[in-house]
Amino acid sequence: MTIEGLLKQIGLRNFNQLYCDLSPAALYEQAIRRHEALLSYSGSLVFHTGQYKGRSPEDKFIVKDKMTENLVDWGKINKPFDPLAFRHLKEKLLFYLQNRDLFLQRCHVCADPQHRLNLWIITEQPVYSLFARTLFRVEKEREKRDPLLADFILIHAPGFRADPEIDQTHSGAFIILNFSEKLILIGGTGYAGEIKKSVFTLLNFLLPQKGVFPMHCSANLGNSNEDSAIFFGLSGTGKTTLSIDPTRRLIGDDEHGWDDKGIFNFEGGCYAKIIGISKEGEPEIYNSALRFGSLLENVIIDPQTREINFFDDSLTENTRAAFPIDYIPNASLTQTGGHPKNIVMLCCDAFGLLPAVAKLSTEQAISYFLLGYTSKIAGTEAGIKEPQAVFSPCFGSPFLPLSPKVYAQMFKEKIESHKPTVWLVNTGWVGGEYGIGKRIALSITRRLVQSILNGELAKSEFVQEKHFNLFIPQSFKDIPHEILYPSKSWKDERRYTTKAKELKELFNHYAQTLT
């Protein structure tokens, strides 16, 4: 059956021109010709996403039917959508796409062939076809693509807006996953991250049923397959920055699976936050972002010189670069690794209370995994005047269709079976909370992480501090004492004790909500 015939089976008919598996160069031409993007001075492609410049959690739904009703953890994150309403909205979307050009990329996810999932990404705009081709995995030879049918299809129409009163959506934008029909619909939003994260949500539903532990983490590899490491962390904690290390091979920057053989990347590209990025601070990401084939999302570009301003946040602080992972000089060719030797849980503690590094017991590792703690600082969102604790169970709750307990149990089984060393690394403040103390220097965090990965830190003597019961190094080389012992860096140690008690109570209270 032809591709057009297969599209007609799902209701896509009477479209104008179908562009299938276009190369990056051809997609550049289409995007520029349609005035969707600008070519930068260095060869990257710059596009703006309109009203939506980040994910829209209120607009995301999962169809509730026999397949999902007893599996999905329904609530504020996983909101149910009626199957009949889905059918009506799909019909309206398909009608909207008639007489329009369509762009199809036949991709797949999961570097381990055993878990491969074939995706067809169909969109009305070439810039998003390039995004899909960049972020996901693509067979280079056409003869390998042609026989492959889609395991799942994603239809993307940012120009189509729903009517909430009629269509049962929250707004004109929608992201709806239908596991029974193997179909994802995205409309009304131009933020490219919705494509990436809807596929991640899909994998977080399917893979646990195959015994594969899906993770929102970055990963890298040392000199042997057995020397792999994973980095859990929410946005702003340094997950991508710290995993890209010139002495190690990058497996992936954001999404991975862990099965009985080891770990593997889901994707084939990187989607890095780039506000304020510099060649000196993060050369690998900076250089990759400027190359031909890279997409720069909501970055400010001079319309005359086509120079990029990575420091301009007038559109959003959430500026992004999407580029193939092999743009990173030392990226792993297979994007797989053995069972992790070290696991690093990153947080950015703006309260200035947690140590820069601590070794976690199995019980503590599971607790911190379930908490998924970091903090927001003043100025990052409207209305935030002082640091706020943020909890995202399993470091990825917006993308987890199942109960956090399911993923926590899988994590527990993995660390009990393979016995990695688990670490907590704080990339936040010391000497007081945000506004009083200072942020731990990236150079110090890098040295601590490198000492974790090369085994030096594990040889230290550890003592258990009394506030969070964490095991911290008694001393380590020339790392300042106050970095390791944050209570010593506060001018008023009694105030530190009071604030630490408050944060510990927050941890305990949130943990109780998960039981």
Which among 60, 156, 239, 376 is annotated as catalytic?
A: 239
Q: How far apart are CA 392 and CA 386, in angstroms?
A: 19
Find the length of the chain.
Answer: 515
Render the burial of 101-133: b for 16+ CB within 10 Å, e for the rest: ebbbbbbbbbbbeebebbbbbbbbbbbbbbbbb
236 is an annotated ligand-binding site residue = yes
For CA atoms 120, 126, 132, 133, give the dihedral sign: positive
Q: What are phi and psi of 372, to 5 degrees?
A: 55, 55
Q: How far apart are CA 343 and CA 238, in angstroms?
A: 14
Q: How far apart are CA 201 and CA 57, in angstroms?
A: 12
123 is an annotated ligand-binding site residue = no
Decide if 95 contacts 192 (C-beta within 8 A): no
233 is an annotated ligand-binding site residue = yes
263 is an annotated ligand-binding site residue = no
197 is an annotated ligand-binding site residue = yes
Catalytic residue check, 228:
no
Q: How far apart are CA 81 and CA 168, in angstroms?
A: 8
Which among 42, 171, 235, 367 is annotated as catalytic?
A: 235
Catalytic residue check, 210:
no
33 is an annotated ligand-binding site residue = no
445 is an annotated ligand-binding site residue = yes
Which among 21, 40, 44, 55 is annotated as catalytic?
A: 55
Cα–Cα distances in angstroms (integers) from residue 436 to residues 77, 173, 407, 430, in the given order: 35, 41, 37, 9
Decide if 222 contacts 198 (C-beta within 8 A): no
Place of tokens 């509730």: 64
Which among 189, 201, 218, 240 is annotated as catalytic?
A: 240
Name which of 353, 492, 356, 334 is nearest 425 in CA terms.
356
237 is an annotated ligand-binding site residue = yes
Which among 320, 359, 414, 499 is annotated as catalytic?
A: 320
Per DSSP, 513 falls in state H
Q: How far apart are CA 61 and CA 76, in angstroms?
A: 10
Catalytic residue check, 306:
no
Q: Where does residue 32 rank: exposed (0-12), middle (13-18), buried (19+ CB within 10 A)?
A: middle
Strands (DSSP E) contained in 361-513 are 373-376, 388-391, 421-426, 429-430, 438-439, 462-464, 471-473
254 is an annotated ligand-binding site residue = yes
For CA atoms 54, 57, 58, 61, give the dihedral sign: positive
Which among 60, 108, 156, 197 is annotated as catalytic?
A: 197
Catalytic residue check, 495:
no
139 is an annotated ligand-binding site residue = no
Which among 216, 248, 341, 376 is annotated as catalytic?
A: 216
320 is an annotated ligand-binding site residue = yes
10 is an annotated ligand-binding site residue = no
288 is an annotated ligand-binding site residue = no
Which among 245, 253, 254, 259 is annotated as catalytic?
A: 254
241 is an annotated ligand-binding site residue = yes
234 is an annotated ligand-binding site residue = yes
Catalytic residue check, 197:
yes
11 is an annotated ligand-binding site residue = no
User: Where in the sequence numbering do the catalytic residues fall?
Assistant: 55, 197, 216, 235, 239-240, 254, 320
Annotated binding site: 55, 191, 197, 216, 233-241, 254, 282, 320, 439-440, 445
Known binding-site residues for ATP equal 197, 216, 233-241, 282, 320, 439-440, 445
> Binding site for Mn(2+): which residues?
197, 216, 254
Which residues carry a binding-site annotation for substrate?
55, 191, 197, 320
